[in-house]
Structure 1
């Protein structure tokens, strides 16, 4: 009979979305037990849920993130492709109009995984929950942290009325046995069809488990889930900053850069001949033009669908109306190609709309004091303008770092959580700089506007992007960074500086580099 786990060897992950599931996987094998606490009752497969409204918009997972996910979940890329996701080589299968012109479709140097967010999450969730060391407590919201300013000891939770926890996770269970918050029973059934058979944790506990547990809680019941490490992966709505002040810690330093971007997305069925093997199409704004910036994406995803996302900053926002979607793509973007493609496709959803695009970063790594046993990752740590597509990749890279630091330093070692928090700030910083380096120029994005440093960096990046339109080597260096496979320091190498000074060595393209076959398959010829 295996020894029961103790609260000190239990990891509690808050949030069952992309960042939370990967954090849970990262800690499996380091903790004796990992409990994922999720507010929603998660669907059995790819399906919408209330707590993930951003799933209605375009998502991509850059290769820097793909490598991290694959490291945590070997074979997950094959599983995604088998489920219908698409692997698109970069920049081979990208038709992109940047600020300085159309990019050529250079040979593959990186890649992205394209899929609807529901499919992406369901596939990863199935693989994570197939690990019987990871348990899901769903339909349960987190009310706050337990412990003090020196150490977090768990979380206070409340049942929302979804599948109920078993007695071992219920109020009144013997916390000293380690079973409190560990067993989940039927709450795991939300993922059972994708996760495979779950252990019968609803059965009577063995002699090493808790005894004398109270009644299974119904909606509104509150209890404590103890843990030796709590990971907050609750996303943009995270309340961990407030919870820390309640424990007696100072307020965290926070920065926001708000471009005022509004996002409108709609799902289409592609023309029959363009339902597989079609490139990404992206039209970006040119900040030199002045006025609002407007952009659009068309991403080929599963089931022969295209997801189109249009966006605009203050004064240039897309409409929420279905009837205006194609018009905006055709008339308001710098080139009409996305609108022309959508005119040949069949809409299969209404327009989804959001303004939740502000860049917001919490500098927890800079706090003068940090409690033991707490780590913050994902959008709870830093949320980016989704235009740049880096949130999923950063969450994956942060999960790998979490695993590596805990493994290297040892579970429960003094100062472990602070070391983790400083370490996960590294990939966050790269994505943050990429996002705010552009958004800071949007009117009203910050109180003070761009600094001299911002202007100098932007001037150099603009020159690099111009060079990349006609120089494949520089295009690769740029995508080294945008794919999050390498840091921005590669753009300061002497050979890159020289190439930027010389400019592109091929003439500018006069239109989108779609092939004749691609135009024909989309009904444009």
Structure 2
């Protein structure tokens, strides 16, 4: 904060990940008050305002790097708290629409843990900043100001109704249930357009006790995706090893093929998707929770950046756009957008005229990229509603399908796939001549036919006898020990010589 200028104050509406990161960015320039309707827990604990936290959340390397730049050392804090840094695709067994991805050396990474743990570590760091205070169990009822300038918020606190909290800048990070459009309309702001693509997705999650020894050996994430090219409901099944020796299992289905909260139907659903491996892994495992079900997962985008917003306001995170949670984009989009806002504020300062509108515009590119990736796939499912694909989308989808087919056999295309999916590089990376050359030669010849779990992984999961144990057939079952292009029975570990340099200071390959 520049001590020679008058003291400035910012308000952040919402104390989830996007709001906390916004507060950290703004704390360089002002005192910050984070207002949240819930009490903010001290450690990893559920919050009523974040019901989706019950489901799997993967923080891609593109988002982890952005948060690391905003809060240096946060990756170490996460791992010390129990989160797991996973090399991709080394620590991933995934069947895409085009087939099984080989587990070659590290191209990118993700952070795997419960959303409660992820948020709690960030919350402890941000609320510990001298410039940040919180106003908890308090609900914002509207913006204060005019169509030209927002000057604060009206908030109901436990002690006072309709309290005025003045601010030089108000950031809405209140999430999917944001009322920002209504609040702005009450100030006389019009023309805020909204778009939606809804595949009817429902997802259901249950936590299980992991097999003994699975956590210690670094058991991989296991994921079976749907194929939007086939005109049937899209169904998926995923296991993510998280803290405390637990497996977080999430199922999903689009309209006409949705999972339910019936615990007896959970494993049968997992077995019914394009490969039964997730259901097989869960069979016999001890459930630790009930089945949590979430509906209302439509992709929704509000084009704040195209409206004549009042000065002193911008929105971020799910308040701007929500995405099908299966793509894991939300946290990364918010973090990268706020990193761009930090760059803007360091260049121009909080007092710069129109800084809120400029902040909204610098967030837009990250949102647009994720929006195109998510909606171009979701609109293909039967019964999907909303904005239709732009002209030329079919041609682009055909190219991406070919790239993803090549990613099942060609390590260069595997790298290109994860560079973009983890939001580490822009999708235009896929159109570079070096990538196009590989796409032109893409083939699924020699692709894996079964999940590439190692013999040791299958044994610890109870699918096969332990390595070295004699069996009648003398093998370890289909797909055991397939290293996919490595020529070994175990998946390779450690960073690859990839130009992105994934094994950077944000955690090294384990």
Q: Same fold (TM over 0.5)?
A: yes
Q: For the residues of structure 2 that align with 1:504 and 1:323, how far apart are their CA atoms?
A: 40
Whole-Å separation in 2 of the counterparts to 1:515 and 1:34 = 50
Alignment of 1:126 onto 2:124? yes
Correspondence for 2:222 among 276, 281, 291:
281
Q: Which residue of 1 aligns with 2:345?
A: 406
Indicate the residue corresponding to 1:208 in structure 2: none
Aligned: 1:236 with 2:235: no
Instruction: Note the alpha carbon deviations across 1:164-218, whole angstroms, 9 max, x for none.
Output: xxxxxxxxxxxxxxxxxxxxxxxxxxxxxxxxxxxxxxxxxxxxxxxxxxxxx25
Equivalent residues in 2 for 1:79-90 (5 A)? Answer: 79-90=77-88
Shift of the alpha carbon at 1:495?
2.2
Distance 1:303 1:5, change over 3 A: farther
Contact 2:403 2:439 survives alignment (8 Å): yes
Of the candidates 39, 42, 65, which is equivalent to residue 41 of structure 1? 39
Q: Distance in 1 between matches of 2:388 and 2:229?
A: 16
Matched with 1:326 is 267
8 Å CA contact 1:144, 1:157 repeated in 2: yes
Query: Where does residue 73 of structure 1 map in the other structure?
Result: 71
Q: Counterpart in 2 of 1:252?
A: 192
Higher helix share: 1
- In 2, are the aligned partners of 1:327 and 1:339 still within 8 Å (CA)? yes
1:505 to partner: Cα distance: 7.1
Q: CA contact under 8 A between 1:293 and 1:312: conserved in structure 2?
A: yes
Q: Distance in 1 between matches of 2:3 and 2:345?
A: 22
1:515 aligns with 2:447: no
CA RMSD of aligned residues (A): 1.6
Give the Cα separation in 1 of the matches to 2:3 and 2:164. 22
**Aligned-residue offset at 1:94:** 0.6
Q: Is the 8 A contact 1:241 1:251 kept in 2?
A: no
Q: Which residue of 2 aligns with 1:524?
A: 463
Distance 1:77 1:450 in 2: 37
Tell me how far apart the structure 1 counterparts of residues 70 and 226 of structure 2 sit (CA, whole Å): 36
**C-alpha contact (below 8 Å) 1:344/1:523 kept by paired residues:** no
The offset of 1:344, in angstroms, is 3.6
SS of 2:143's equivalent?
A: strand
C-alpha displacement at 1:445, in angstroms? 2.3
* CA distance in 1: counterparts of 2:462 and 2:419, whole angstroms: 34
Alignment partners' CA distance in 1, 2:390 and 2:74: 42
Partner residue of 1:92 out of 90, 93, 106? 90
Secondary structure, in 3 states, of the residue corresponding to 2:213? Answer: helix
Deviation of 1:443 after TM superposition, in Å, equals 2.5
Alignment of 1:83-482 (within 5 A): 83-159=81-157, 161=158, 217-218=159-160, 221-276=161-216, 277-330=218-271, 332-367=272-307, 369-447=308-386, 449-482=388-421
TM-score, structure 1 normalization: 0.86
Q: Return 5+ residue gaps in structure 1 as ranges.
A: 162-216
Mapped to 1, the partners of 2:425 and 2:117 lie a distance apart of 27
Are the structure 2 counterparts of residues 342 and 505 from structure 1 closer, same or farther at C-alpha, using a change threshold of 3 Å?
A: closer
Cα drift, residue 286 of structure 1? 1.6
Cα shift at 1:454: 2.3
Q: How far apart, CA to CA, are the structure 2 residues paired with 1:480 and 1:123?
A: 26
Q: Displacement of 1:273 after TM fit? A: 1.7
Query: For 1:30 and 1:449, how far apart are their aligned partners in 2?
Result: 42
| Deviation for aligned residue 1:498 | 2.3
Superposition TM-score, scaled by structure 2 size? 0.88
1:494-513 to 2 correspondences below 5 Å: 494-504=433-443, 507-513=446-452
Counterpart Cα distance in 2 of 1:25 and 1:225 = 19
Query: How far did 1:348 drift?
Result: 0.3
**SS class of match (1:287):** coil
Q: Give the ranges of 4+ consecutive aligned residues of structure 1 lying more than 6 Å apart after TM superposition.
A: 2-6
**SS, match of residue 491 in structure 1:** helix
Question: How many corresponding residue pairs?
Answer: 462
SS of 2:176's equivalent in the other structure is: helix
Q: CA deviation at 1:311?
A: 0.4
Deviation at 1:36, TM superposition (A): 0.4
Determine the structure 2 residue equivalent to 1:25: 24
